[in-house]
Amino acid sequence: MKKMKKALSLGVVLSLTMALAACGSNKGNDAESSASNAQEGVTKLRIYAQYSDEDTKGYYDYAVAELSKEMPNVQLDLEIQAQDDGQKLKTYAATGNLPDIFNVGLDQINVFRQSNNILQLDEYVDKLGFKDKMQPSAMNTLYTDDNHVYAFPYAGNELILLFYNKELFEQNGVKVPTTFEEMHAAIDAFKAKGITPLSIFAKEKWPDVAFFDMFATRYNPAGISALDKGQAKPSDEAYVKAAQDIADLVKAGLLPKGATNLNYDQAAALFHEGKAAMFVNGQWEIEASTKALGDKVGYMYYPAPDAATYESNKLAFSGGGTPGGFAVSANTKDKELATKVASFMALKYAEFKYTQKGSPIVSTKVDKPIVKTFDPMMEQLAKDLPNITSTTAFAWGLSNTKFKAAIEDASQALLSGSYSAEQFVSDLESAMK
């Protein structure tokens, strides 16, 4: 049965690929596009965007309202984006029915660029000044690996933060660690008080990879992304040292007993209830931790092997993002107008998120006043974002599937306390051969 399913799946993929290729090769023919000159000088453009709940409706409604002021001659015909991992969009591409403007992720970009269904936007990001409006630290969300642009991004880089309970550190006279030596001192101090030094939901493997990545960035700011792209080897000094640092800290008592069996609720409860001094999660944890701990919670920059490395690398973050956003069909009738509208929509989506959703995690610069005040940690993050020197990748963003599987297993094993740095490196090297 498994083989039959595999064969059927392969057949569907081949059919879809052939259809996409056929459609892409039809450039210059009479491919349908919904861009049309309507009556009374109004141009209608078909757009495919999220609009499924109150959250996603807010972004779209705001951008459309702003568009009506800036380009009153443009009317958008919204088609609500299906929650189907992009399958409907791929079907549209295969049948030559792509909307003029559509919201895409990297997966769809890679499929559509091979079939020439997506408009390359290189000349437009310069012509429209969009490139100049990007956050310097978010340029990785603009360019794909072939150094071209296929979508106007609005979402920024998601980041891994090392949260800490300020009150626990102050009450117990513990210095917020900047070096691994200070991290060991913090472990000893908290253990002596019966406080878990650091909580992590290591039952899920992506936080384990992120934790390793945090340490790897102290030696190589590219972290796991350099391994994923084949630009570094697990046996390189940076990764050997990072694995050894973690093994040493785990052995010293950094984590709660059975950490690799803890889910998010269990691990977060330790931190939120003041039973753990530190916690690892993405920046999306800010709201939950602030709700639980108020102004007691903050985030620290990752510790490093020495003070000099800490200072030079403290704004090299684990985490990241991928290209995506509003793209334009290669077959739209009015490329100039469609790209102008797509760029405008992306800028307004970022503006809404920044000013009204209380989040500075956007790809483009925003100069409008904030409507919803940032939480204190978001305020700190908003100040850090323009100065971030590098980002890496989350486990789910790794492109090398063999490496992804191997580092997920090895990182989790490293946190078990019964797995050495040598085994970690050896297993990764073996998996990547």
| pLDDT class of 265 with cuts at 50, 70, 90 | very high
Q: In this structure, which CATH number among 3.30.70.360, 3.40.190.10, 1.10.3720.10, 3.20.20.80 belongs to the domain 43-157+321-390?
A: 3.40.190.10
Residue 3 has pLDDT above 60, yes or no: no
Q: Is 374 exposed, middle or buried (0-12, 13-18, 19+ CB in 10 A)?
A: middle
Per cent of the chain over pLDDT 90 is: 81
Domains 43-157+321-390 and 160-320+394-432 share a fold: yes
What is residue 36's predicted lDDT score, i.e. its pLDDT? 47
- For residue 81, CA distances in Å to 14, 78, 350 come to 24, 9, 18
Contact 192, 174 (CB under 8 A): no
3-state secondary structure at position 427: helix
What are the structural domain ranges in the chain? Answer: 43-157+321-390, 160-320+394-432
Q: Which fold has domain 160-320+394-432?
A: D-Maltodextrin-Binding Protein; domain 2 (3.40.190)
Residue with tokens 């991992």: 85
Distance CA 15, CA 226 (A): 35
Distance CA 158, CA 149 (A): 20
Residue 119 has pLDDT above 90, yes or no: yes
Q: Give the model confidence (pLDDT) of 9-18 as tens digits.
A: 434 443 444 4
What is residue 25's predicted lDDT score, i.e. its pLDDT? 41
What is residue 55's predicted lDDT score, i.e. its pLDDT? 80
3-state secondary structure at position 372: coil
Residue 38 has pLDDT above 70, yes or no: no
Residue with tokens 């879809």: 16
